[in-house]
């Protein structure tokens, strides 16, 4: 298949449990075409690593497998205002610089624990610059949303029922741990 067509198709099925062949992520042009936000190939790849740090591949799929960073970018491009978009791209730039300053090794090659430690400094929104915090918040929120609202998660990890066909009240609770059911 023509690479451009392949990429276009991937973008179309972004929400699903799209399995991204490794060579796609190692490709030489951006996987997503944006209307408003400008992202370099290097930045897109770094974002993929940040998303993978948030939702790593374990015994189950991770962010890269599902292309979650592309969902982050799609939402950023279509649903956020200019100010948020500027904060995000500036924050992404600052994040790349910070990572480079922290270690000579590329962020992608850091151990998971070290990558997590860096991200967690922004978790409460107080440590970094406003741009870094905005970048982290948007990336985290949309990565989590992309994950929890993916076909993979909603069919394999929890139960989503389009048709519950029931409304039961006074259902006894055995434990407070609940399988997610929509509704």
Partner 1 sequence: MANLNIDSVKERTFDAIVIGSGISGGWAAKELTGKGLKTLVLERGRDVKHGIDYPTTNMYPWEFKHRNEMPLSVREENPIVSRCYAFHEDAAHFFVKDKEHPYIQEKPFDWIRGYQVGGKSLLWARQTQRWSDFDFEGPARDGFAVDWPIRYADIAPWYSYVEKFAGISGNKDGIAELPDGEFLPGFPLNTVEKYFSDHVKKAYSNRHVISARCAHLSKPEPIHFEQGRVQCQNRVLCQRGCPFGGYFSSNASTIPWAMKSGNMTLRPFSVVQSIIYDENKGKATGVRVIDTNTKEVIEYYARIIFVNAAALNTNMILLNSTSNRFPNGLGNDSGVLGKYVAFHLYTATVNADVDGYTEFKTEGRNPAGGGYIPRFRNVYKQETDFLRGYAAGLGAYRSTHTDSSGVGSKLKDSLANPQLGGWRVGSHMMGETIPKESNYVKLDKDQKDQWGMPLLRISVDYDDNDRKMTNDYLEQVGEMFETAGFKNIRKEITQGKAPGLDIHEMGGARMGHDPKTSILNKWNQVHTCNNVFVTDGACMTSTACQNPSLTYMAFTARSVDYAVSEMKKGNL
Residues that bind partner 1 (CB under 8 A): 14-16, 53-56, 58, 60, 74-75, 78-81, 112, 116, 119-120, 123, 140, 144-145, 147-151, 153-154, 157-158, 160, 162-173, 176-178, 180-183
Question: Do the Cβ atoms of 32 and 70 come closer than 8 Å?
Answer: yes
Identify which of residues 28 and 176 has a Cβ nearer to partner 1 in the complex.
176
Minimum CB separation of residue 23 from partner 1 in Å reads 25
- Output the CA torsion 124→117→62→52 (10° steps): 90
Burial class from Cβ neighbours inside 10 Å (0-12, 13-18, 19+) for residue 51 reads buried
Question: Do the Cβ atoms of 13 and 66 come closer than 8 Å?
Answer: no
Identify which of residues 28 and 172 has a Cβ nearer to partner 1 in the complex.
172
Minimum CB separation of residue 150 from partner 1 in Å reads 5
Identify which of residues 28 and 165 has a Cβ nearer to partner 1 in the complex.
165
Minimum CB separation of residue 18 from partner 1 in Å reads 11
Identify which of residues 41 and 175 has a Cβ nearer to partner 1 in the complex.
175
Q: If you write DSSP's letter for every residue of 36-64 in order, what string do you get?
A: S----HHHHHHHHHHHHHHS--SSS--HH
* Gap between the Cα atoms of 157 and 142, Å rounded: 18
Minimum CB separation of residue 135 from partner 1 in Å reads 14
């Amino acid at each position: 298949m023509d690479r451009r067509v392949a990429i276009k198709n991937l973008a179309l099925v972004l929400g699903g449990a799209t399995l991204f062949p490794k060579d796609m992520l190692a490709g030489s042009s951006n996987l997503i075409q944006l209307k408003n936000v400008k992202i370099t190939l290097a930045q897109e790849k770094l974002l993929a690593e940040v998303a993978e740090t948030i939702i790593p591949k374990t015994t189950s799929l991770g962010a890269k497998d599902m292309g979650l960073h592309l969902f982050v970018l799609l939402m950023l491009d279509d649903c956020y205002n200019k100010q948020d978009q500027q904060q995000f791209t500036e924050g992404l730039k600052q994040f790349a610089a910070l990572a480079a300053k922290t270690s000579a090794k590329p962020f992608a090659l850091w151990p998971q624990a070290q990558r997590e430690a860096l991200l967690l400094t922004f978790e409460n929104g107080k440590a970094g610059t406003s741009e870094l915090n905005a970048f982290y918040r948007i990336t985290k929120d949309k990565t989590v949303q992309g994950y929890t609202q993916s076909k993979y998660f909603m069919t394999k990890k929890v139960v989503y029922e389009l048709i519950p066909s029931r409304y039961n009240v006074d259902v006894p609770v055995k434990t407070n741990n609940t399988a997610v059911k929509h509704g």
